[in-house]
A and B are shown apart, each in its own frame.
Chain A
Amino acid sequence: MPQNEYIERSIKQHGRRLDHEERTRKKAAREGHKASENAQNLRGLRAKLYAKKRHHEKIQLRKTIKAHEERNVKGAAAEKEPANPIPSYLLDRANPTNAKALSTQIKNKRAEKAAKFAVPLPKVRGIAEEEMFKVVKTGKKTAKKAWKRVVTKPTFVGPDFTRRAPKFERFIRPMGLRYKKAHITHPTLNVTVQLPILGVKKNPQQPLYTQLGVLTKGTIIEVNVSDLGIVTAGGKVAWGRYAQITNSPEMDGCVNGVLLV
């Protein structure tokens, strides 16, 4: 870690070395050769990283060129018309259709019966009980029986949950693996909002996991969407909406999902 801006300080005090301008010019002139050499000779991970970097650079380059070209065009550009018809009071406004809650397309899709039960993640990896639960041996006398289980996956536990007496507690859901909020993406809006989880609707693995509120990839959860201002067909404000978990919460340490609309 550099302490203070010593390079700048030195430059201010002593100036640059006398051939600095020439060296930078030459370095810049050789940049193409260097890039070419790298592109040809790098191998493995470094090649991959280099290609990615170069790709992004080129995108930026093209964008800049395009911007310059547009700037150089003489005369007024053609009047841009919005794609969908909107009333006169919405013209000239900053794209209000972007924040559109329910698109007709999705509604048409939902009208089809088959699509009604379609979810973004139709298939999930099966999780065995051995992976899901860890055996706990508690108590002096009953330790041999080992009848208690710890859930090793993240869970959602309702706000009014209290643990049962140790004797009757068959499943332990660790505090550290409990989640109350999920990052839910609205598929048409392309926005992601952190929303409180209301409950676990269905865990596709097992009904038992649904009961326990286990959050794995593909689980359908109910989230509180009152902030989003979504309205049902009947004109009521939607409160709870279903969403499907799209990541593996046990690997990532957070719950991400997509809203089912």
Chain B
Amino acid sequence: MATVVPPPSKRQRRDELERSQVQQDVTAVAAADLGSFKARFVDGDGNQMTDVVEIPLADATEKNVSLLLNTLLGRDREDHTPYRFRIHVSTTSKDSSTPTTTILDFYPTNPSALLPLLASHGITSPFETTLTLAAEPQSIFRVQAVSRLAHRIPGHGQPILCASFSPNSPSRLATGSGDNTARIWDPDTGTPFRTLAGHTGWVLGVSWAPDGSRLATCSMDKTVRVWDPETGKLAPGGEFKGHNKWVLGLAWEPYHLWRDGTPRLASASKDGSVRIWVVNTGRTEHVLGGHKGSVSCVRWGAGGDKGTGLIYTASHDKTVKVWDAVQGTLVCTLSAHAHWVNHLALSTDHVLRTGYFEYGKEIPDSEEGKRALARERFEKAARMQGKVVERLASASDDFSMYLWDPMNEGTKPVARMLGHQKQVNHVTFSPDGTLIASASWDNHTKLWNARDGKFINTLRGHVAPVYQCAFSADSRLLVSASKDTTLKCWNVRTGKLANDLPGHEDEVYAVDWSPDGKMVGSGGKDKAVRLWRN
């Protein structure tokens, strides 16, 4: 027997562990003498973060650069934030003296690809110029792509029309169905939790209050009902009557805007009106009439002049209207679409939906603390160039989408997003507000840059209209539900299919990704709720 080498000492093991944790991306592939480049790091608003540093090109993977930036900012290992970088390339063309800046959205995965990429944008020797890298903080947690069917829960007697996860964690899933009930499910055990019976028409929409204490449902029977999700009983005085036709959509007031302890709820109806209800009393505070067609979607944003809230409504009369949430007056009408407006999305949808629930943060005990945290989260998500910007994306039957900024730009759209070849059914912002995903009848899902509305990628794979899509909480994954009976999980960064999720026996009408990222819930024509995990 040969002599056995003694096992590494504890110190050696620790060093080894540290090395493997920190420097995972050292690739021997890149040649050592590639040279280096100078990098200036700027944050989202264009402010310089650190001094200009020189980075060897061979080691310049995104992970390493992110690590370097964290070190330069003097953060501890525990506080490290992963960053994503966009490269700003400023080029001076011959005819104009002012340099134009193009922004490369994606940092190459392989450091050896960086040099050709820069060369293709006119920088032959990056060693002489200083590259500007815009650092975007990523979420510190990572959602894993769902890959398997965890639970199939039968219960509904008719197709499931809508699904929504509660904002708190561990979250509950609520679904509304054509059998006139809404049901709440416990996703961890895969069991039915509560049945909310009372509607006399199909339940078309379910919506959780941002503190998770109440659940609102709207129905074909022209009523809105508010339930206590814990007991499954109708909240006292929780049936709101007033609409003349089907109620199609709901939106809760953002948590930090709740006045005197009572939330307000907006409901959109086919009769062309939007009603704002005071939930505790069931009183109609305002009736927003003005649309000449069915109101297809309503969103409640926390923007406005004093941050008192704006209500956005999309209608089949081709317009999007913006209302003041306090006074109930029309602020402006956005009319650029040439056909029905199907869906709206706000850049702050995710933070408004989740209220004061944030990963890795304690829930404050006091009401004021909760409100302050919710406000802080909103302002952090909406801050852009030092001011609060709440962007709105509208999807329409005219095959196009518009990006709006009603608070700052007025009725002028920021960008028009063209590319879909059929009606666009659903549009959604990523939780970090950098991407827009749109689902269309042309079987494709498309990704757009939320900053300027530029087209990024097409996610091809579905063979039938895509009905809905939902981002994971870390904005790295997208799940789309389609008529072709499948869900598909996409890697947003690469635009590739992460997981194909067959299992539904019929069209999938509704999909939602839980705010804690653990699972995806879906429902459709085959009447059973399905929960997907990684």
State the A residues within 8 Å of B (CB): 79, 81, 84-92, 101-102, 104, 107, 229, 231, 233-237
Chain B 498-518, CB-CB to A under 8 Å as 1, else 0, gives 001111011001100000000
Cβ of B525 within 8 Å of any chain A Cβ, yes or no, is yes
Cα A87 to Cα B484 in complex, Å, equals 16
Q: Are B525 and A104 in contact (CB under 8 A)?
A: yes
B420 to chain A, nearest CB (A): 15
Q: Are B425 and A89 in contact (CB under 8 A)?
A: yes
In the complex, 9 of the A-B residue pairs with CB atoms within 8 angstroms, ordered by the A residue number, are: A79-B245, A84-B159, A86-B159, A88-B249, A91-B246, A92-B316, A102-B485, A235-B502, A235-B503
Q: Are B202 and A235 in contact (CB under 8 A)?
A: no
> What are the residues of chain B within 8 A of A92 when measuring CB–CB?
270, 294, 316
Which A residue's beta carbon lies closest to that of B202?
A: A85
B297 to chain A, nearest CB (A): 9
Known: A104-B525, A231-B485, A237-B463. A88 touches B502 (CB 8 A): no
Cα A101 to Cα B506 in complex, Å, equals 10
Which A residue's beta carbon lies closest to that of B503?
A: A235
> What are the residues of chain A within 8 A of B179 when measuring CB–CB?
85
Which A residue's beta carbon lies closest to that of B218?
A: A88
Q: Are A104 and B506 in contact (CB under 8 A)?
A: yes
> What are the residues of chain A within 8 A of B343 when measuring CB–CB?
89
A240 to chain B, nearest CB (A): 15
> What are the residues of chain B within 8 A of A234 when measuring CB–CB?
502
Judged by DSSP, the binding face of B is loop
In this complex, which of A85, A102, A235 has the most chain B Cβ atoms within 10 angstroms of its Cβ?
A: A85
Chain B 83-115, CB-CB to A under 8 Å as 1, else 0, gives 000000000000000000000000000000000
B444 to chain A, nearest CB (A): 13
A215 to chain B, nearest CB (A): 29
B48 to chain A, nearest CB (A): 45
Cβ of B177 within 8 Å of any chain A Cβ, yes or no, is yes
Residues 154-172 (chain B) with a chain A CB within 8 angstroms:
158-159, 161-162
Cα A3 to Cα B484 in complex, Å, equals 57
Q: Are A85 and B159 in contact (CB under 8 A)?
A: yes
> What are the residues of chain A within 8 A of B161 when measuring CB–CB?
85-88
Chain B 174-187, CB-CB to A under 8 Å as 1, else 0, gives 00011100000000
Chain B 232-254, CB-CB to A under 8 Å as 1, else 0, gives 00000000000001101100000
Which B residue's beta carbon lies closest to that of A232?
A: B502
Q: Are A229 and B463 in contact (CB under 8 A)?
A: yes
Cβ of B210 within 8 Å of any chain A Cβ, yes or no, is no
B161 to chain A, nearest CB (A): 4
> Apart from A81-B220, A229-B484, what 11 extra A-B contacts exist at CB < 8 Å?
A87-B162, A88-B204, A102-B485, A231-B464, A231-B486, A233-B502, A235-B484, A235-B485, A235-B500, A236-B502, A237-B463
Cα A90 to Cα B340 in complex, Å, equals 13
Q: Are B526 and A104 in contact (CB under 8 A)?
A: yes
Cα A88 to Cα B340 in complex, Å, equals 14
Cα A104 to Cα B525 in complex, Å, equals 9
> What are the residues of chain B within 8 A of A89 when measuring CB–CB?
296, 342-343, 425-426, 467
A137 to chain B, nearest CB (A): 54
Cα A41 to Cα B421 in complex, Å, equals 61
Q: Are B248 and A91 in contact (CB under 8 A)?
A: yes
Which B residue's beta carbon lies closest to that of A100?
A: B507
A152 to chain B, nearest CB (A): 41
Q: Are A88 and B296 in contact (CB under 8 A)?
A: yes
B298 to chain A, nearest CB (A): 11
Cα A233 to Cα B484 in complex, Å, equals 10
Cα A90 to Cα B246 in complex, Å, equals 13
Residues 128-169 (chain B) with a chain A CB within 8 angstroms:
158-159, 161-162
In this complex, which of B179, B220, B245 has the most chain A Cβ atoms within 10 angstroms of its Cβ?
A: B220
A105 to chain B, nearest CB (A): 11
A98 to chain B, nearest CB (A): 13
Cα A79 to Cα B269 in complex, Å, equals 14
Cβ of B205 within 8 Å of any chain A Cβ, yes or no, is yes
Q: Are A85 and B177 in contact (CB under 8 A)?
A: yes
Cα A92 to Cα B177 in complex, Å, equals 18
Known: A92-B316, A231-B486, A233-B505. A85 touches B467 (CB 8 A): no
Q: Are B205 and A88 in contact (CB under 8 A)?
A: yes
Cα A201 to Cα B436 in complex, Å, equals 48
Cα A38 to Cα B205 in complex, Å, equals 62
Chain B 466-497, CB-CB to A under 8 Å as 1, else 0, gives 01000000000000000011100000000000
Which one of A84, A85, A104 lies within 8 Å of B505 (CB-CB)?
A104
Cα A234 to Cα B502 in complex, Å, equals 6
Q: Are B177 and A107 in contact (CB under 8 A)?
A: no
> What are the residues of chain A within 8 A of B158 when measuring CB–CB?
85
> What are the residues of chain A within 8 A of B501 when measuring CB–CB?
235
Which A residue's beta carbon lies closest to that of B178?
A: A85
> What are the residues of chain A within 8 A of B464 when measuring CB–CB?
101, 229, 231
Which B residue's beta carbon lies closest to that of A81?
A: B220
Known: A85-B158, A87-B162, A235-B500. A107 touches B178 (CB 8 A): no
Cα A104 to Cα B159 in complex, Å, equals 12
Cα A217 to Cα B283 in complex, Å, equals 70
> What are the residues of chain A within 8 A of B296 when measuring CB–CB?
88-89
Q: Are A235 and B205 in contact (CB under 8 A)?
A: no
A86 to chain B, nearest CB (A): 7
In this complex, which of B245, B485, B501 has the most chain A Cβ atoms within 10 angstroms of its Cβ?
A: B485
Cα A113 to Cα B248 in complex, Å, equals 42
Cα A233 to Cα B343 in complex, Å, equals 30
Q: Are B463 and A87 in contact (CB under 8 A)?
A: no
Cα A87 to Cα B205 in complex, Å, equals 8
A77 to chain B, nearest CB (A): 14
> What are the residues of chain B within 8 A of A90 when measuring CB–CB?
509
Q: Are B525 and A88 in contact (CB under 8 A)?
A: no
Cα A97 to Cα B178 in complex, Å, equals 15
Which B residue's beta carbon lies closest to that of A236?
A: B502
> What are the residues of chain A within 8 A of B426 when measuring CB–CB?
89
Cα A174 to Cα B249 in complex, Å, equals 64
Q: Are B204 and A87 in contact (CB under 8 A)?
A: yes
> What are the residues of chain A within 8 A of B178 when measuring CB–CB?
84-86
> What are the residues of chain A within 8 A of B526 when measuring CB–CB?
104
